[in-house]
Amino acid sequence: MARPTLADPCPCGLPRSYADCCGRWHAGTPAPDAEHLMRSRYSAFVLQRPQYLLDTWHPRTRPATLDLDEPGLKWLGLEVRTHQVTGPDSAEVEFVARSKVGGRAHRLHERSRFERVDGRWLYLDGDLS
């Protein structure tokens, strides 16, 4: 996907412009909660921003590198099902992300865990359904 302009709709599905939604988190402002971080990470996958994904991944579980170059991959949408605060610095977000590769539809259903470290929410890990 081409880089959105700041006025384009945000890839995460909220009814906001990219500038007023995930664009500010991608520019360096910390996401206010786990749901917004999860949405911004989805947008980073759509926009192929691997460094943002690595920067928002918990150091205990972060991979050394991340390759987002899957030929023909097209992200189709995101549905956030639940956002649950599980502690003062922890939360879970259940979501479904839809994509298509080579004409075949795919559905990623995950319950992700997040931790807040030094005031910033980070993706820890998740369970696939």
Interatomic CA distance for residues 58 and 117, integer angstroms: 8
Q: How confident is the model at residue 2 (pLDDT cuts 50, 70, 90)?
A: low
Structure tokens at 117: 């470290």
pLDDT digits (tens, 9 = 90+) for 57-96: 999 999 999 988 888 899 999 999 999 999 999 999 999 9
E runs forming strands in the chain: 74-87, 90-101, 104-117, 120-128
**In the prediction, which pLDDT does 117 show?**
97
Say if CB 123 and CB 37 are below 8 A apart.
yes
Q: What is the pLDDT of residues 100-115, one digit of tens each?
A: 998 899 999 999 999 9
Mean pLDDT in residue range 1-13 = 80
**Per-residue pLDDT at 5:** 73
To the nearest whole number, what is the mean pLDDT of the chain? 94
Residue 4 lies in a domain: no
Q: Is residue 8 assigned to a domain?
A: no
Q: Give the chain's domain count.
A: 1
Is 13 inside a domain boundary?
no
Q: What's the pLDDT at 4?
A: 72
Q: Residues 6 or more apart from 29 whose CB is under 8 A from it?
A: none
The closest alpha carbon to 69, from 45, 40, 103, 33, belongs to 45
- The CATH number that applies at residue 69 is 3.10.450.50
Residues contacting 28, CB < 8 A, separation 6+: none
